[in-house]
Structure 1
Amino acid sequence: MLKVLESRILVFLLIATCMSAAAAEQRPIKVSTSDGSINFLLTSDVLSTLENTSFNATLPATDEAVRHVSGPLIRDVIKASGAPMGDLILKAFDGYEVVLPASDYKNIDVILAYKIDGKRFSLRERGPAWVVYPNEAYPELKGELYASRSVWQMSEIIVE
């Protein structure tokens, strides 16, 4: 009887561990305004309902291979949240943050990529989403300035 109980507890712990790992990989991205008037959770379900844009890009801090990325335009994400189109503070799970000027996402098709080479990617793989510029189509978008705005492991977007 004791062995059966121990086995059931072990199975329960394994299931609970797997469920919490899956939940951690599906963390929503918070979209809010600096005054707190809008708080919107961008879940993987919401991401998949927004129209997606795809293109080839070289992702910063990688092996420099050209990758095919897909996700909604940043401007569509902001519209979906109900927030005004202002400069954005982009925050990553590791504490990195940078300002993305409104002129960038209004005039350039910057996306919030959640698929690379056709596959969703996890937090461990720099997900749940990555801000990506179409730098293969527009080489002027390569370099440190735009690379610094290409935040991976997105956790929060604050509209100023």
Structure 2
Amino acid sequence: MKPVVTRRSLVSMMASLPAFALIGQNVRADADEAILSVRLNDAEAQFTDATLSDLPQVSFSTTTLWTQGQISFAGPTLQSVLEATGAMQDVAAIRLTALNDYSVTMETALIGPNAPIVANRIDGAPFSVRDKGPLWIMFPFDLDIRYRSESFYALSIWQLSHIESV
């Protein structure tokens, strides 16, 4: 019997490896594996890359503090992901958590119809954990000056894995 390696166990195993063991690796989740868990109030939803790609997509090019030059980001809006759970009403804030358990809290008043997005494509292609993926909360920093602030930079969490209401 072939052992089953889940994303969570893979991340745990990777954390215990020396840093040099990961050089050159391009770790990605299986296409059918849930890469995002959303829990709002009493509703819970799991999203794969395919189910995220089935939601309406937004794309924009922007520069970031963490990358070189202007890059194209694409994915569903955070608003559409939250609405897909069917329980967004009465949620004033959400906690966004990364694979390494880093988390930030975002007021839902900051979530608009076009930004931020849950980027699952950079320059048209899926991206790996090694490249800050497979999901990254992204704002169009170059398109609106209000996004160029420390508070919005802090909300741009990469390796997003969980969203929950707080």
Q: TM-score range by the shorter chain?
A: 0.7 to 0.9
RMSD over aligned Cα, in angstroms? 2.4
TM-score by length of 2: 0.75
Distance 1:61 1:115 in 2: 16
**Runs of 5+ consecutive residues of structure 2 not aligned to the other structure:** 11-26
More displaced stretch, 83-92 vs 126-135: 83-92
Distance 2:79 2:118 in 1: 10
Task: State the match for 2:37 in structure 1.
Answer: 30
1:39 to 26, 44, 55: 44
Could you tell me whether the CA contact under 8 Å between 1:57 and 1:132 is conserved in 2? Answer: no
Deviations 1:33-54 (CA, angstroms, capped at 9, x unpaired): 2x5x112101111111001000
Task: State the match for 1:54 in structure 2.
Answer: 59
Distance 1:93 1:139 in 2: 29
Q: State the aligned residue count.
A: 142
Distance 2:74 2:157 in 1: 15
1:136 to 131, 134, 142: 142
Which is richer in helix? 1
Distance 1:94 1:23 in 2: 15
Task: State the match for 2:164 in structure 1.
Answer: 158
Distance 1:110 1:22 in 2: 23
Distance 1:135 1:23 in 2: 28
Q: Secondary structure at the match of 1:71?
A: strand
Given the superposition, is the C-alpha separation of residues 51 and 147 from structure 1 closer, same or farther in structure 2, using an over 3 Å criterion? same
- Map 1:64-75 onto structure 2 (within 5 A): 65-75=69-79
Task: State the match for 2:20 in structure 1.
Answer: none
Q: Secondary structure at the match of 1:106?
A: coil
Q: Secondary structure at the match of 2:84?
A: helix
Q: Secondary structure at the match of 2:112?
A: helix
Task: State the match for 1:80 in structure 2.
Answer: 84
Given the superposition, is the C-alpha separation of residues 23 and 62 from structure 1 closer, same or farther in structure 2, using an over 3 Å criterion? closer
Could you tell me whether the CA contact under 8 Å between 2:60 and 2:73 is conserved in 1? Answer: yes
- Please tell me the residue identity of whatever aligns with 2:44: N
**Runs of 5+ consecutive residues of structure 1 not aligned to the other structure:** 1-11
Q: Secondary structure at the match of 1:151?
A: coil
Could you tell me how far 1:122 is from its partner in structure 2? 1.2
TM-score by length of 1: 0.78
Q: Secondary structure at the match of 1:121?
A: coil
More displaced stretch, 121-130 vs 99-108: 99-108
Could you tell me how far 1:106 is from its partner in structure 2? 3.1
- Please tell me the residue identity of whatever aligns with 1:59: T
1:127 to 133, 148, 160: 133
Could you tell me how far 1:27 is from its partner in structure 2? 4.8
